[in-house]
Amino acid sequence: MEGHATVMIVDSTVWADYFNGLESPYTDRLDRALAEEEDIAILPLIIAEVLQGFRTEAGFLKARDLLLGLSVLVPSVECHVEAARLFRRLRGRGITVRGTIDCIIAQTCLEHDVELLSPDVDFRRIAEVARLRLWSR
């Protein structure tokens, strides 16, 4: 990596694809980050979203162990307030995002100045009005 090391948050969509063995530029990037032991952080919300999708206990436990081995960023109450402000700012500009969770994830990334790995179009919309750093190929 060039310059200073950066922390990356991986969205639940990418984790789900990764654990399901689906290949994409995003899962390839995650695979490289894990192999090179880059700084990956996770939010409790993302842990819950990812783990709820497992059908087998073995898969659940394997994923849980990997996810809980990462740095955890816990959004503060103020972060939640700012996520609501972000949602309102987006809506005021005619930009609709699907939900509160995406705003909390984005706001946490903004507060901690971390990059987000996600193909989700909602995060691209958020990046139009906020300084959200999204990974791009």
Q: Which CATH class is domain 8-134?
A: alpha beta
DSSP H helices in the chain: 12-19, 25-35, 44-51, 57-68, 77-92, 100-112, 121-129
- Domain edges within the chain: 8-134
**Band of pLDDT at residue 3, cut at 50, 70 and 90:** very low
What are the CA-CA distances from residue 125 to residues 49, 78, 94, 122, 136 (Å)? 21, 22, 10, 5, 14
Instruction: Give every CB contact of residue 67 below 8 A, 6+ residues apart in sequence.
Output: 15, 42, 46, 47, 50, 51
Place of tokens 């991986």: 10
- Under DSSP, the state recorded for 10 is E
pLDDT at 110: 96
Apex CA 110: angle with CA 108 and CA 114, to 5°?
85
The amino acid at residue 86 is L
Cβ atoms of 39 and 76 within 8 Å: the answer is no
Residues 51-75, mean pLDDT to the nearest whole number? 96
Residues 13-26, mean pLDDT to the nearest whole number? 97
